[in-house]
Structure 1
Amino acid sequence: MKKLKTLFYAIAFVGALTSCSDTLDLAPEDYYASGNYWKTQAQFEGFMVGMHNSLRGDYSNVFVLGEARGGTQKFGTSTMSTSLNYSSPIKNNAFTKDQTGVGGWASYYGRILQVNLFIQKAEAATAAVLPDAAKNYLLGQAYGLRAYYYFQLYKTFGGVPIVTEPKPTTTSDPTKLSTARSTPKQTLDFVKQDVEKSEQYFSSDNFTLKSRRAMWSRAATLVLKGDVYLWSAKVAVGDQAPTDVSGDLTKAENALLAVKNSGKFGLLSKFEDVFSTSNKGNNEIIFAIRFADGEATNNAAEFLYQDAVFLNQYIGYNGKVMKDTLNLKGTGGVFRNEYKFELFASYDNADTRKRATFLDYYKVANGDTTVRAVVLRKFVGSINTTNNRVYDSDIPVYRYADVLLLLAEIANKKGEDPSGYINDIRKRAYGPTFPVYTNGTFEENELAILKERDKEFVWEGKRWYDLRRMQNAAGKPLAFAAAANYPATAPVLLETETHKLLWPIDVNTLNADPLLKDQQNPGY
């Protein structure tokens, strides 16, 4: 199980991110370093930078928890004969109480404890240390981050332990929180409370965006609010049932419309430009996880070809032998994550997202195509100043296309026409001759919205959550609909596997804390 650092070391690390002129003298006997830290606005801002650095360490969870089990990934052995990561139990949804995929609450509590400490110190800070305007903005960020973390936990496990104190421990073991598990309703209610607190602290902010949109902001809180209340309106988890659908949809819609109408965001004219490393912090980005050469890079190489098993062995869609088409310069890692060709084939050839997202390759023998496959192209990074390929693409958490498609989903649930939002997305993807979508039945609309989301948000951690939240005409999750899968011959989950909508909790976590004994999710 992955161990988490003590809060003392978290503070020491964050201190390294502040100004070079700041010399930090942290007293080792004091986990809070209260005698030496939390004395200036710069120190609070430095800790906030550190919490975002910690969030960057969570980016793999964005894919693992939010996308990998959503039916768009191959599992087992790749087309290039490599062993694929997360194959079982995650990508094949073969979860049991002993095969849980992740452990230790997916390592979220170490990050949450850092945020708890920040909130405690910031709320206690005097105006002489932290002026009101700065204090409100920083607390808006902190409550937004904590709401985001707990919402991830809620979508994954349902009810979880709610910890609001820093709780430093000498063992730094996330399984020893000494806190009972809350119910799903209590957990979602807590998320809503933190979202509201974040929004209140941001109330006087006019959509300030910092660090090329890689720091939490009022807009990020509002999109999170829209996401949270849409889940509340549609998804039943344990004792959490959609009881105020109309009210929840109104709250979700108003939050998203506030972002839409702010004038700060919009769709870029070219899909590929959204992810260009020379165009970071563009108008489509609402909040992204930052990567930079010399600072930290992502693991996109795991989705790309390795020279030894790819070059000169396949042909492209144009019939030419494949060389180093993406100019990886030998940096492609062992091919560990592969998207299904059926997802690629679902795009029209006129859809610019198709080859901005994927590079397709083939093998032909005796006139028959024996291999059809793709690698990810979308987050390929850049060539740095030393002429090396680096994987420094920012990973969006929220962008404007998400706002439009969430609004489409809200309109559909309200019985209204979502086609305008869908067509906004299609127009950017196809250009002026885009295939116009016309309003259909609830289920037709829901599937159309899902398919647009599938094409927009590859490797952005949306697909599994979409299958959980989106519904057929009977109100059942699209995780059980064959039409929502790739290929559309069988669903991602069978209806006899409803317990798998939530992940199992690993045995070590349950056994480590007496308050969690016999608290496994139902069905496991």
Structure 2
Amino acid sequence: MINNKMKKILYTLCLMAAPLFFQACDNLDLSPIDYSGSENFWQNEAQVNSFMLGLHNHLRSQFVADAFKLGETRGETLKKGTNSCGSSSSYSNLIANEISESNPQTSNWNGFYGKLLQVNHMIEQLEGACTFLDDNSRNYYKGIAYGLRSYYYFWLYRTYGGVPLELTVKVTNGSISAPDLYLKRATAEATLQQIKDDVEASLTAFGQTNKTTPSYYFWSKSASLMLKAEIYLWSAKVKTDDPETPHTPGGVADLNIAKSALSEVIGKYSLESDFSKLFKEEGKGNNNEVILALYLDKDEYVNRNHFRTFFYHMNFAGNNQVDADGNDITDPLDLKGEGLLYNEWSESFVTSFDKKDLRRAATFYEYYSKGDGTPDNPGGKHGCAMLKYFGQNVDGTHYFDPDIILYRYADAILMMAEIENGLGGDCAKYINDIRQRAYGANYDAAVTYANGTYAENELAILKERDKEFVGEGKRWFDLLRMHDANKGPLVFSVEAAYLQGDETGAILDKATESYRVLWPIERSLMSNDPELEQTVNYPTATDSAK
């Protein structure tokens, strides 16, 4: 396990490595770059290692907020309208699934191509240069680089469908004309195949080295195995539309590939006995469940504003709040005014947790407005703070420094449940492994899951994932991947929704909003690159003019 000294070294190295990277912008975040200094860079393994650290720093900058934005906001577990402290959500359009070509809620492919440029640069150096590296070291770095490229493109694919596949660094050594940078979107099938090829290249390289990552703060073979399982589970179940070559679900064949990948992870890790420890300071770098995480140091204020949005703000005391027992509260988490509360989970979602489920108290601090009622006297307005993002108080100062967990063993267990369900096997044992940890001493026959129909199992797995991975960027993609009885996405199922107020429908209406399973790109992106077309089936400005 990683100790505090090593954490500090990691933090310092990431900051040192960051300046090695080059600014990029325009259509695919690819613009002419001055690489003159690079002739003095790729000269020894220490420099390669520094570049690798920089790639992890880029990964961290991409996902501190974006995993929540792309993977969580649209899943309708967040409160709509005014929150418990009187503020409005910073993602109100996404929470309402109101996205369009003129209002896509993200821009420039969400910044992924700037990160991919650097990964491509490392791959090119590892494949065609860096002669000072022995095969053992070369394969170690290749395992990381190909894994990261597959990971980034998998996020792009699940978000946009077929996307431009930029696999080389075109913009080296001086200027280049804009048309040389134009790149049309690959088909859905070609994009997914590239993702599969890259994760396989990663695993092949890791299999040819005896070097291992020093901690779960670095990409590893286990991370690539988790990614491969996730890719093939998606490939097995999700149809991705495309005007040329859509992806048709691969079914049993892909499920078996996913199962084989997970078989190399199952048993290698274990569930942390205390769920809350995963998200506390004493659990950082010190548990057997996390497979890949992004480390945040308490002095990195760059992350402060994102995490502040999940906690009550400084006017909390003036709102006359009480705790679940009706006791007056002012600053129960000792945040010292650091909260902003622009994002809050809905009462319907929070209260879907059984009170005996220990994850509820470990995930949320709940409170109610005074005077309107308490839990024993219904009517009080429900509010909550997100404890996974809490961080720590040190010497009278609050720091938002939680690890951002990308993969952990609970995900492997629940993916295996989903795979077994798809293969007609018994998924209950995997669900119950998670529930036993979730309920602890409260676990009994009443909360033990019994295997049901395919649709019943699928919904049960989704609901278990909902409770297990709150805030970890999973919910939206789970809704797109998991099925109802007709093998349709649960995003169109009322049973999968946590209805708020007088709502009665599914998250998306299948008849009128099915195109919104993917995201649009902005008009300016297409204007700057005539090769680009809008995401399939999206209404466009041209359509509106007809």
**TM-based fold match above 0.5:** yes
Match of 1:150 among 153, 163, 168: 153
- Kindly indicate whether the alpha-carbon contact (under 8 Å) linking 1:110 and 1:174 is maintained by their aligned counterparts in 2: no
In structure 1, distance between residues paired with 2:96 and 2:357: 29
The number of residues matched between the two structures is 498
- Kindly indicate whether the alpha-carbon contact (under 8 Å) linking 2:44 and 2:130 is maintained by their aligned counterparts in 1: no
| Structure 2 match to 1:9 | none
Alignment CA distance shift 1:19-1:240 (3 Å): closer
Matched, 1:218 2:218: no
Q: Secondary structure at the match of 2:435?
A: helix
Structure-to-structure mapping, 1:33-48, within 5 angstroms: 33-48=37-52
Structure-to-structure mapping, 1:256-295, within 5 angstroms: 256-261=262-267, 263=268, 265-281=269-285, 282-295=287-300
- Kindly indicate whether the alpha-carbon contact (under 8 Å) linking 1:471 and 1:477 is maintained by their aligned counterparts in 2: yes
Matched, 1:355 2:361: yes
In structure 1, distance between residues paired with 2:192 and 2:453: 30
Alignment CA distance shift 1:173-1:198 (3 Å): farther
| Structure 1 match to 2:490 | 478
Counterpart of 2:44 in structure 1: which amino acid?
T
Match of 1:251 among 257, 273, 277: 257
Structure-to-structure mapping, 1:179-190, within 5 angstroms: 179-190=183-194
- Kindly indicate whether the alpha-carbon contact (under 8 Å) linking 1:151 and 1:188 is maintained by their aligned counterparts in 2: yes
In structure 2, distance between residues paired with 1:123 and 1:441: 49
| Structure 2 match to 1:10 | none
In structure 2, distance between residues paired with 1:174 and 1:331: 45
Greater mean alpha carbon deviation, residues 197-206 or residues 178-187: 197-206
Q: CA deviation at 1:365?
A: 3.0
Q: CA deviation at 1:327?
A: 1.8
Q: Secondary structure at the match of 2:405?
A: strand
In structure 1, distance between residues paired with 2:441 and 2:432: 11
| TM-score (norm. length: structure 2) | 0.86
Q: CA deviation at 1:280?
A: 1.2
Alignment CA distance shift 1:389-1:207 (3 Å): farther
Matched, 1:191 2:195: yes
- Kindly indicate whether the alpha-carbon contact (under 8 Å) linking 2:33 and 2:171 is maintained by their aligned counterparts in 1: no
Alignment CA distance shift 1:519-1:369 (3 Å): closer
Q: Secondary structure at the match of 2:247?
A: coil
- Kindly indicate whether the alpha-carbon contact (under 8 Å) linking 2:42 and 2:130 is maintained by their aligned counterparts in 1: no
Counterpart of 1:463 in structure 2: which amino acid?
R
Q: Secondary structure at the match of 1:369?
A: coil
Counterpart of 2:261 in structure 1: which amino acid?
A
Alignment CA distance shift 1:144-1:172 (3 Å): farther
In structure 1, distance between residues paired with 2:13 and 2:523: 32
In structure 2, distance between residues paired with 1:437 and 1:514: 53
In structure 2, distance between residues paired with 1:84 and 1:277: 28
In structure 1, distance between residues paired with 2:95 and 2:18: 43
- Kindly indicate whether the alpha-carbon contact (under 8 Å) linking 1:18 and 1:43 is maintained by their aligned counterparts in 2: no
In structure 2, distance between residues paired with 1:470 and 1:323: 42
In structure 2, distance between residues paired with 1:279 and 1:243: 39
Q: CA deviation at 1:168?
A: 2.9
Q: CA deviation at 1:179?
A: 1.1
In structure 2, distance between residues paired with 1:279 and 1:363: 33
| Structure 2 match to 1:25 | none
Structure-to-structure mapping, 1:204-215, within 5 angstroms: 204=208, 208-210=212-214, 212-215=215-218
| Structure 2 match to 1:372 | 382
- Kindly indicate whether the alpha-carbon contact (under 8 Å) linking 1:356 and 1:377 is maintained by their aligned counterparts in 2: yes
Alignment CA distance shift 1:177-1:18 (3 Å): same
Q: CA deviation at 1:520?
A: 3.7
Structure 1 unaligned runs (5+)?
Answer: 1-12, 23-27
In structure 1, distance between residues paired with 2:415 and 2:178: 33
Q: What fraction of aligned residue pairs are identical, expressed as a percent? A: 40
Counterpart of 1:47 in structure 2: which amino acid?
F
Alignment CA distance shift 1:353-1:19 (3 Å): closer
Q: CA deviation at 1:191?
A: 0.2
In structure 2, distance between residues paired with 1:406 and 1:188: 19
Counterpart of 2:276 in structure 1: which amino acid?
E
Greater mean alpha carbon deviation, residues 93-102 or residues 322-331: 322-331
- Kindly indicate whether the alpha-carbon contact (under 8 Å) linking 1:312 and 1:323 is maintained by their aligned counterparts in 2: no
Matched, 1:63 2:68: yes
In structure 2, distance between residues paired with 1:353 and 1:175: 53
**CA root-mean-square deviation:** 2.6
Q: Secondary structure at the match of 1:213?
A: coil
- Kindly indicate whether the alpha-carbon contact (under 8 Å) linking 1:75 and 1:85 is maintained by their aligned counterparts in 2: no
| Structure 1 match to 2:462 | 450
| Structure 1 match to 2:316 | 309
Alignment CA distance shift 1:47-1:361 (3 Å): same
| Structure 1 match to 2:505 | 490
| Structure 2 match to 1:427 | 436
| TM-score (norm. length: structure 1) | 0.90
In structure 1, distance between residues paired with 2:110 and 2:18: 32
Greater mean alpha carbon deviation, residues 225-234 or residues 282-291: 282-291
- Kindly indicate whether the alpha-carbon contact (under 8 Å) linking 1:15 and 1:47 is maintained by their aligned counterparts in 2: no
Counterpart of 2:123 in structure 1: which amino acid?
I
1:106-161 Cα distance to aligned partner (Å, 9 max, x none): 1100000000001111222344x222211111110000001000000000000000
| Structure 1 match to 2:7 | none
1:212-266 Cα distance to aligned partner (Å, 9 max, x none): 41111100000000000000000000233345322111110111110113x2x11
- Kindly indicate whether the alpha-carbon contact (under 8 Å) linking 1:80 and 1:310 is maintained by their aligned counterparts in 2: no
| Structure 2 match to 1:120 | 124
Match of 2:79 among 62, 74, 80: 74
Alignment CA distance shift 1:257-1:311 (3 Å): farther
Q: CA deviation at 1:94?
A: 1.3
Q: CA deviation at 1:182?
A: 0.2
Counterpart of 1:305 in structure 2: which amino acid?
Y
Q: Secondary structure at the match of 1:347?
A: coil
Counterpart of 1:317 in structure 2: which amino acid?
A
Q: Secondary structure at the match of 1:222?
A: helix
Match of 2:521 among 492, 500, 505: 505
Greater mean alpha carbon deviation, residues 161-170 or residues 57-66: 161-170
Matched, 1:336 2:331: no
Q: Secondary structure at the match of 2:406?
A: strand
In structure 2, distance between residues paired with 1:141 and 1:352: 36
In structure 2, distance between residues paired with 1:474 and 1:183: 26
Structure-to-structure mapping, 1:226-245, within 5 angstroms: 226-238=229-241, 239-245=245-251
Alignment CA distance shift 1:271-1:126 (3 Å): same
| Structure 1 match to 2:400 | 391
- Kindly indicate whether the alpha-carbon contact (under 8 Å) linking 2:497 and 2:506 is maintained by their aligned counterparts in 1: yes
Q: Secondary structure at the match of 1:297?
A: helix
| Structure 1 match to 2:16 | 17
Greater mean alpha carbon deviation, residues 229-238 or residues 200-209: 200-209
Q: Secondary structure at the match of 1:504?
A: coil
Structure ranking higher in helix proportion:
2
1:254-301 Cα distance to aligned partner (Å, 9 max, x none): 11110113x2x1101110011112221221100012111224535211
Matched, 1:159 2:162: yes
